Amino acid sequence: MAQILYTYKDGVYANLTNKCNCRCTFCIRFQHDGIGDAPTLWHKVNPTWNQVKKAIDAFDFTGFQELVFCGYGEPTCALPLLEQTARYVRRLHPRLNLRLNTNGLGSLENGRDIVPELAGLLDSVSISLNAPDEKEYNRVTKPTLTGAYKAMLDFAKACKKSIPDTRMTVVDVLSPEDIEKSRKVAASCGIKLRVRKFS
């Protein structure tokens, strides 16, 4: 069975689902079965709330500052589980920072603006911008939903209004010109761009 909580470098991560509405060309899950201390992050069946709760209860969070919702799938594709988990961890470990790493398609996926719900539960959101324009975004992330690029930008803008620690990211495989263009796209949403190292 795949790990629900796993550690990587200094962080602890929650792998809630393998469902995703993108097929990113660079996605790590198509290269390795697991990362960090997890031999595999592929669930045979996506976990239930009881399994997630059991994993949280059994995990020693001592020394960790943050729990990041990020695994081999898009966490907002399992929105009720994500929200229930965030609520539970907040109660159990009030000092942990709760961060969502997301492709930003959660509102499009769930058919409503989910940011007000997330704002009450999370401290930080990191949204993958991935590309400097819509054409490149569609080429690189291969979204399965129509209107993904605009929906991702709208999600980012909404997050910025209600979750102060909102970031957008690209990976450093982009050319310096494309990173600069991406910086401008993020700035147009009022958000600072973070350039992540490809790993």
CB of 20 to ligand SF4, least distance (A): 3
Judged by beta carbon, residue 11 or residue 88, the one nearer ligand SF4 is 11
CB of 22 to ligand SF4, least distance (A): 4
Least Cα distance to 46 among 78, 68, 85 occurs for 78
Judged by beta carbon, residue 6 or residue 54, the one nearer ligand SF4 is 6
CB of 31 to ligand SF4, least distance (A): 10
Least Cα distance to 73 among 51, 55, 47 occurs for 47
Q: Give the whole-angstrom CA distance, residue 191 versus residue 193.
A: 6
Q: Give the whole-angstrom CA distance, residue 46 versus residue 121.
A: 22
Judged by beta carbon, residue 74 or residue 83, the one nearer ligand SF4 is 74
Residues that bind ligand SF4 (CB under 6 A): 20, 22-24, 27, 29, 73-74, 103, 141
Judged by beta carbon, residue 61 or residue 169, the one nearer ligand SF4 is 169
Query: Are 21 and 145 spatial neighbours (Cβ–Cβ below 8 Å)?
Result: yes
Structure-token match 């942990």, residue found: 96
